Amino acid sequence: MDKIKVFLGRSISPLVAVLIIALLGTIITSSILLSLQGDPFQRDKEVEFIRSDSLVSSECEKEYTEINDFLEYANYCDVNEDCKILQITPANTKLGCFRFVNKTFNQYETNSKISSYIEKCEPAAEETCAIPVNAMCSYYKCVESPIATLLRKDFLYPYSLSWIEYNEWTEGSINFSITSVLLEAVGGSQNFLTFGGGTYYPPYINLENEFRVITFLLKIQNADKEYNNTLPINIRRITNEEGDKVTPNYPDSHSYISISPNATLYDQQFIFVVPKDETEFSFTTGGASNIHFNIKILSDTLEITKF
């Protein structure tokens, strides 16, 4: 067989030459790949950053949430995971949990004060910055449901209080009837529900103590057989002698109603936070009907009186 001359001046067989060329090709290819990818340690750091920056809540919660706090306050939330207590430390800030908290707040459009608080919350070394529960929770999503019905008054047809609202666009009408009134006690550990209105009680109710709500259950009928009707809810609580009014101010309350043609809705809730030390409250149906009525707390029932 012919011999192949190489630069060393020695002869080698074709098989050995092929093996040498293959080995050199492997070495060159590996070198190119390593130069493109960087060192393994750096790649690991980049992957870690990408994973943390994706703000996957389960990773942050699993490693950095104070479990007791999470379990305690999770009961006050009725949707998704927007009520978290994350202990923010220098360690988990680096891994993206701090950014995760920011994204959670932005997602639920919390106010600028909360966003500002979070921005200033990044801790110094050896410190822990715990987001308080009233900052972590959206006004509309993080209130414990009523824990006890203290009094309830049900009404049968013909109802004691009914009225009609008109939709000027469709020229349709919606019939409202109060079917029940409830006095309920609510407990919790958050501080963000307000009485509202023009009287300006102290701005926050301390939910560590029991507070009360008046709940109206309404039957709502769309008399229009052709069109949907959507109307704002005009029922209001009158807070003082000057006639200042407050809208239903408890989560799960309706602020408007949308109803299909010829449909009837039952047990629609309109809930007002009321002072615990008062026993009589004034309301109006608002709108064109503008019926004024009182709810009075008696020893064993609730009394509704039009005036």
Beta bridge partners of 80: none
**Segment 198-211 mean pLDDT:** 41
Residue 97: predicted pLDDT: 35
Statement to judge: residues 297 and 158 lie in one domain: yes
Statement to judge: residues 156 and 264 lie in one domain: yes
Instruction: Check pLDDT > 70 for residue 206.
Output: no
Statement to judge: residues 131 and 153 lie in one domain: no
Instruction: Name the more confident of 215 and 101.
Output: 215
Split into its structural domains, the chain has a count of 2
Identify the band that residue 233 occupies on the pLDDT scale cut at 50, 70 and 90: confident
Instruction: Check pLDDT > 70 for residue 290.
Output: yes
Look at residue 82 and tell me if it is in a domain.
yes
* Domain around 255: 148-306
Instruction: Name the more confident of 280 and 37.
Output: 280
Identify the band that residue 216 occupies on the pLDDT scale cut at 50, 70 and 90: very high
Look at residue 180 and tell me if it is in a domain.
yes
Nearest of 166, 142, 20, 162 to residue 80 by alpha carbon: 142
Statement to judge: residues 81 and 225 lie in one domain: no
Nearest of 127, 135, 45 to residue 85 by alpha carbon: 135
d(CA 307, CA 131): 48
- Most confident region among 51-55, 83-87, 261-265 by mean pLDDT: 261-265
Q: Which of 115, 136, 157 is the C-terminal boundary of a domain? A: 136
Statement to judge: residues 78 and 120 lie in one domain: yes
**Segment 211-216 mean pLDDT:** 85
Q: Please calculate the CA angle 143-190-274 and round it to the nearest 5 degrees.
A: 70
The pTM of the full predicted model, rounded to 2 decimals, is 0.50
Instruction: Name the more confident of 182 and 19.
Output: 182
Residue 302: predicted pLDDT: 92
Statement to judge: residues 178 and 273 lie in one domain: yes
Statement to judge: residues 279 and 209 lie in one domain: yes
Look at residue 87 and tell me if it is in a domain.
yes
Look at residue 163 and tell me if it is in a domain.
yes
Q: Which of 99, 114, 136 is the C-terminal boundary of a domain? A: 136
Look at residue 21 and tell me if it is in a domain.
no
Look at residue 186 and tell me if it is in a domain.
yes
Statement to judge: residues 259 and 121 lie in one domain: no
Q: Which of 76, 103, 136 is the C-terminal boundary of a domain? A: 136
Instruction: Name the more confident of 10 and 158.
Output: 158
Look at residue 33 and tell me if it is in a domain.
no
Look at residue 29 and tell me if it is in a domain.
no
Instruction: Check pLDDT > 90 for residue 28.
Output: no
Length of the chain: 307
**At 286, which CATH number?**
2.60.40
pLDDT digits (tens, 9 = 90+) for 137-178: 333 233 334 457 889 999 988 888 999 888 777 677 888 999
Q: Please calculate the CA angle 253-261-232 and round it to the nearest 5 degrees.
A: 30
pLDDT digits (tens, 9 = 90+) for 32-82: 544 444 443 333 333 222 222 333 344 434 433 333 333 333 333 332 333
Q: Please calculate the CA angle 41-44-46 and round it to the nearest 5 degrees.
A: 115
pLDDT digits (tens, 9 = 90+) for 108-119: 333 333 344 444
